[in-house]
Amino acid sequence: MLKYAIKRIILAIPVIISMTIIVFLILHLAPGEPIDLIVGPNVTPEVYESIRHKYGLDQPLIVQYFKFLGNLFRLDFGDSILQQRPVSRLILERLPVTLKLGIAGFILSVIIAIPLGILAAVNRNTIIDYTCMTGAMLGMSLPTFWFGLLLLYFFAYRMRIFPISGYGTWKHLVLPAFALGLTDAAVTARMMRSSMLEVLGQDYVRTARSKGLAEKVVIYQHALKNALIPIVTLLGMRLGWIIGGSVVLETIFSIPGLGRLMIDSIHSRDYPVVQGSMIVLTSAIILGNIIADILYAVIDPRIKFD
């Protein structure tokens, strides 16, 4: 088990390295020098050059990359051009907000989706199934931002149960977490249903029934554990998206999270911040995938021995 986990983490190293190269290149190959922002248009070439030198932008790309990589190991993403503060500090300030929202949405989606998916599969082609799946279809086709606005309109603007925007109390989190969780739940529920349906048609489910086991045991033990295998992978990947998934919602609900930070810094071309938040975001996704694979091995005994 531990060996598998270590193997899996080692396998992630090339992925992480490629990721840093891509993030690095995107910003350095993008048109426009980042320092144009700091220096303004009316500056002598000498001053311009000295600033370029100060940020190391006059060195060859490869040297710049290795410096960038070296800094990454120390979790040093450089300083924000706009705010003149360390990017890591900025990210650390925003991360908890995003994590809270993401985790709340994630938990919400799991506790809604899994039971609904099972319910729909077990009652296939009945009114229960159709209701669940119509709901899921709706949830999937409505964009998260639209759903967020809808929730805002009804529960914040009309009924005034929850605050319209901002961040601070748990009440601020309820609507965005639901907007995030419900749209996510739609995808998971559909997947849970089809996974469960497939498993229910397997020979070993028939074997379980032929042993005289109660239908509950057949479904919640024999079938469920198998049906969860693909779902765990999906959820693992979604876990990584916790940080990236709420970018849009943070904007709609004016929540000062990492997503907002990233969007704002893209607008203001604050490249070190964009770079830093992209690294955090992609790392979270890679981490999510690793967790998914390890969980997969925990529930599927066939994995470890391959």
Partner 1 sequence: MDQEILKVNNLKTYFFTEDEEIPAVDGVSFSISKGETLGIVGESGSGKSVTALSIMRLLPVPPAKIVDGQILFRDEDLLKKSEDEMRNIRGNRISMIFQEPMTSLNPVFTIGRQISETLILHQGMNNKEAIEKSIEMLKLVKIPLPEKRVREYPHQLSGGMRQRVMIAMALACRPEILIADEPTTALDVTIQAQILELIKELQEQLGTAVMMITHDLGVIAEVSDNVMVMYCGRALEYSDVETLFNNPKHPYTIGLLKSVPKLKGRREKLHAIKGIVPMPNEITSGCRFKTRCEQKTLICENKEPPFIKLGKSLVRCWKYQ
Which residues here bind partner 1, judged by CB under 8 A?
202-204, 206-214, 222, 225-226, 229, 299-302, 305
* Closer by beta carbon to partner 1, 129 or else 300: 300
Tell the smallest beta-carbon distance from residue 231 to partner 1 (Å): 13
Helices and strands (H, E) in the chain, number of each type: 15, 0
Give the Cα separation of 45 and 26 in Å (integer): 26
Least distance (Å) between residue 6 CB and partner 1: 22
4 burial (CB, 10 Å; 0-12 / 13-18 / 19+) is middle
E strand or H helix at 265: helix 258-267
Nearer to partner 1, 84 or 210 (CB): 210
Judged by beta carbon, residue 7 or residue 225, the one nearer partner 1 is: 225
Tell me whether residue 102 is exposed, middle or buried, using C-beta atoms within 10 angstroms of its C-beta: 0 to 12, 13 to 18, 19 or more.
buried
Nearest approach in angstroms of CB 106 to partner 1 is: 24
- Structure tokens, 288: 């999510």
User: What is the phi/psi pair of residue 124, to 5°?
Assistant: -55, 140
Contact call for residues 116 and 136 (beta carbons, < 8 A) = yes
Q: Dig out the tokens for 302 from the structure.
A: 């066939």
Q: Which is nearer to partner 1, 41 or 212 (CB)?
A: 212
281: left (phi over 0), alpha (psi -120 to 50) or beta: alpha
Q: C-beta of 10: minimal distance to partner 1 in Å?
A: 25
Closest distance between partner 1 and the C-beta of residue 216, in Å? 11
What's the min distance (Å) between Cβ of 222 and partner 1?
5
DSSP state of 19: H
